[in-house]
Structure 1
Amino acid sequence: MAAIDCAYSVAGEGPPLFLIHGIGARRATFARLVEGLQDRFTCISYDLRGHGESPQPAGRFGLDDLVDDLEALRAKLGIERAHFAGHSLGGMIGPAYTRRYPDRVRSLGLWSTAAFRSEEDSAKVRAVVQAMREKGIGPVLDTLTARWFTDAFVAARPDVIAWRKQQVVDTPAEVFLNVFDIYAETEMAPWLHKIHTSAQVLTGALDGGCNPRLNGLIAGAMPGAELVILPELKHAIFIEATEQVLPHVRRFLLAREQAE
């Protein structure tokens, strides 16, 4: 399957940083993060295939196809080496890209992602996908947003919750279920130890699906990884609380620059 020419945005100046969003999201996920990094980094965010302004794929696709899209964007921009970081499903695309193109990657961010799932963990994720296939995506949206955002944020910012739900609604159902399948079925545990790139593993303390236990195992498997657990947060860390994430991300990236 040919790579898709994804819609993208570039902001800032300095070493390049590719930002990879998650399921049914958009590059706008990282808007405030970009604001906090663009004085030192060239931030490249893009919409995954079938999301936002990117073209729709012809038929089903897998993790390797999403890696192909990222490599096509890198080549199009003429960037030799960059920092790569992704949230949720994006936190699987980044490592898969690094596994294939290790010499292209200066550092890696695995944000709110999952690996080393137990059978119970995997069954829970598959059950969510099955429920969406049986009932439709709409009826399950409240369940998803309750997993993504803290109760306090849901109560305080119904406008943001509605905006995030609309992103999902605007994503074609077959694409949303396809990327959810990739997220549910990808298991990085067998090969994460082969990635020796400096990495930051970061998640919310209250994230149910991408919890500190799994992220501790991820960081432990990667020789060059640090682990950051953000208190009081669930999954949507960049939409709910970029101000808590930014200092950690900025510190990590600047340290990598000084190390080279």
Structure 2
Amino acid sequence: MKLTANSIDIHYTIEGDGSVVTMSHALGCNLSLWDEQAQALSARYRVLRYDTRGHGQTSAPPGAYSLEQMADDLHGLLTGLGVTATHFLGISMGGMIGQIFALKYPSMVRSLILSSTTSRYPAAARSAWAERIRAIETKGMEPLVEPALERWFTAPFRVRRQDVMDSVRAMIRSTPPQGYIGCCHAIPAIDVTDRLGEVRCPALVISGKEDPGTPVAMAREICAAIPSSELAILPSASHLCNLEQPETFNRSLLGFLDKVA
């Protein structure tokens, strides 16, 4: 299904009944990243998944995006669907969108689940994002595929689950280059650590113990900054810990949601 909001067409799916849980995916992915979580939650919750601006079947306008713009996309989607409040689950870039959204539209967030994400990057990280943009502009998405898998999953999991690797490869390859580039402008600009004390809803912060991109230290920083928060560290998991350790991830997620809902 699609809904027009904030000047783009947003692709989304809704499953189940109950309190709404909105899921926001990682850079270079799409709403199918959450298949296992949607299946686990839809018996008790109304699960809303959507493709972020520049990804999947959502519009990918040219130019640089901002996290504030993507939070406004989400606001437009929720408003268009008549959703006044939601639990929010975001991983990586999705977690960054969630932090901005919770600060900008606090009355709409019942709880916040932030996985494999950060509330700020060091200034030195910006050059790496600029290099990635240049690489995509000259060579397209293909050179990103294998390095992403190496960052996102532990080596034993990559060997053991070729089916998951093939699925994630397909997601990355199908991401529109200009959409990916647009998000690459937004991500390194995040800097909200000092504002997270404003977040009043309950929060769960999830981190893969072996995540090199958004390490446990970043999760601890978010958890320390949000007043009503708790931390779950998943062993034997890297960045996309919802795919690498789905049972453990879902147990933490459901335990938290059932408590706060």
TM-score over 0.5 for the alignment?
Answer: yes
Asked if 1:172 corresponds to 2:176, the answer is yes
More deviation, 172-181/146-155: 172-181
Distance in structure 1 (CA, Å) of the matches to 2:171 and 2:197: 34
TM-fit CA distance, 1:100: 1.0
- Alpha-carbon deviation of 1:82? 1.2
Aligned partners of 1:176 and 1:242: how far apart in 2?
A: 26
Measured in 1, the distance between the counterparts of 2:212 and 2:16 equals 34
Partner of residue 194, structure 1? 198
Q: Which residue pairs with 1:138 in the alignment?
A: 142
Q: CA deviation at 1:130?
A: 5.1
Counterpart for residue 112 of structure 1:
116
Question: Aligned partners of 1:202, 1:115: CA distance in 2, in Å?
Answer: 13
Stretches of 4+ moved more than 4 A in 1? 119-136
Q: What does the per-residue CA deviation read over 1:133-191, in whole Å, with 9 as the maximum and x for residues that have no partner?
A: 56543223211110001111211222321221221111111211221232222222232
Please say which of residues 231-240 and 181-190 is displaced more in the overlay: 181-190
Is 1:148 paired with 2:152? yes
Whether the 8 Å CA contact 1:5–1:72 is kept in 2: the answer is: no
Partner of 1:67: 71
Specify every segment of 5 or more residues in structure 1 that has no aligned partner in the other structure, as ranges.
Answer: none
Residue 119 of structure 2 aligns to a residue whose secondary structure is coil
Which residue number in structure 2 is paired with residue 53 of structure 1? 57
Other-structure match for 1:7: 11
Q: Structure 1 residue 114: deviation in Å?
A: 1.2
Aligned partner of 2:258 in structure 1 is 254
1:19 to 10, 20, 23: 23
**Structure 1 Cα separation of the partners of residues 173 and 164 of structure 2:** 14
Alpha-carbon shift at residue 40 of structure 1 (Å): 1.2
The question of 1:232 aligning with 2:236 is answered yes
- CA shift for structure 1 position 3: 3.8
Distance of 1:73 and 1:42 partners within structure 2: 15
Deviations 1:37-68 (A, max 9, x none): 11111000011122112123253321121111
Match in the other structure for 1:204: 208
RMSD: 2.0
Instruction: Give the TM-score taking structure 1 as reference length.
Output: 0.91
**Any stretches of 5+ residues in structure 2 without a counterpart?**
none
What displacement does 1:122 show? 5.5
1:81 to 78, 85, 95: 85
Deviation digits for residues 200-248 of structure 1, max 9, x if unmatched?
1111000011111111011001101111111110011122221110010
Amino acid at match of 1:57: P
Asked if structure 2 preserves the Cα contact closer than 8 Å seen for 1:6 and 1:73, the reply is: yes
Identical columns (%): 29
Q: TM-score, normalised by structure 2?
A: 0.91
Structure 1 residue 127, shift from structure 2 partner: 5.1
